[in-house]
């Protein structure tokens, strides 16, 4: 199965410039191309017999798979969340954010700070172990919780 890039358009976005949008769009298309290439290699002779944790073709493909696929997923979420003004989430989400962060406004403040502190991504995630919502800082596609 081949992953096909979604055609995102720049419209009514105040959070980033057209140039920044275009750079991210090209990165996204590159990740789509790379995950398809990796998937094809994994279906073929991927060196499974020589797989090991230090260095092997299979390890390199699997590390690249995580990085590229997360790059696709995170950029799709990024593009789908851009634009317009900050909208108030549905009451159920507001209640959860208030429960974990004290208020919706506290969450917004923390999420923006997390984004500014990250080299890559700020991700709102549910941690089933602690049963908390967390703003996760992820400097690279294959670091942190996705």
Over the stretch 37-62, which tens digit does the pLDDT of each residue have? 999 999 998 999 999 999 999 999 99
- Whether the pLDDT of residue 145 is over 70: the answer is no
> In this predicted model, what pLDDT tens digit does every residue of 110-124 receive, in sequence order?
999 999 999 989 999
Residue 6 located in a structural domain = no
Q: Is residue 2 part of a domain?
A: no
Which residue in 135, 127, 131 sits closest to 110, CA to CA?
Answer: 135
**Does residue 144 lie within any of the structural domains?**
no
Together in a domain, 26 and 67 = yes
pLDDT tens readout for residues 58-99: 999 999 999 999 999 999 998 988 866 667 788 998 999 999
Note whether residue 113 is domain-resident: yes
Same domain, 96 and 119: yes
The pLDDT score that the predictor gives to residue 82 is 83
How many angstroms separate the CA atoms of 88 and 84, rounded? Answer: 12
Q: What is the pLDDT of residue 15?
A: 76
Q: Are residues 106 and 125 located together in one domain of the fold?
A: yes
Tokens of 59: 């390890």
- One domain for residues 99 and 118: yes
Predicted TM-score of the model (pTM): 0.84
5 found inside a domain: no
3 state SS for 72-106: HHHHHHHHHCCCCCCCCCCHHHHHHHHHHHCCHHH
CATH number at 131 reads: 3.55.40.20
* Domain housing 128: 91-138
Domain boundary at 61, 80, 99, which? Answer: 80
Indicate whether 73 and 114 sit together in one domain.
no
99 and 60 within one domain: no
């Amino acid at each position: 199965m081949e992953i096909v890039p979604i055609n995102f358009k720049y419209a009514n976005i105040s959070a980033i410039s057209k140039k920044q949008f275009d750079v991210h769009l090209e990165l996204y298309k590159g990740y789509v191309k790379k995950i398809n290439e990796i998937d094809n290699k994994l279906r073929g002779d991927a060196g499974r017999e020589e797989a090991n944790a230090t260095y092997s073709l299979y390890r390199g493909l699997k590390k690249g798979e995580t990085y590229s696929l997360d790059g696709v997923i995170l950029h799709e979420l990024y593009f789908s969340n851009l634009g317009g003004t900050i909208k108030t989430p549905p009451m159920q989400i507001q209640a959860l954010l208030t429960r974990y962060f004290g208020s919706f406004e506290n969450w917004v403040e923390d999420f923006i700070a997390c984004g500014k502190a990250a080299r890559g991504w700020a991700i709102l995630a549910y941690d089933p172990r602690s049963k908390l919502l967390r703003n996760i800082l992820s400097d690279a596609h294959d670091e942190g919780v996705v």
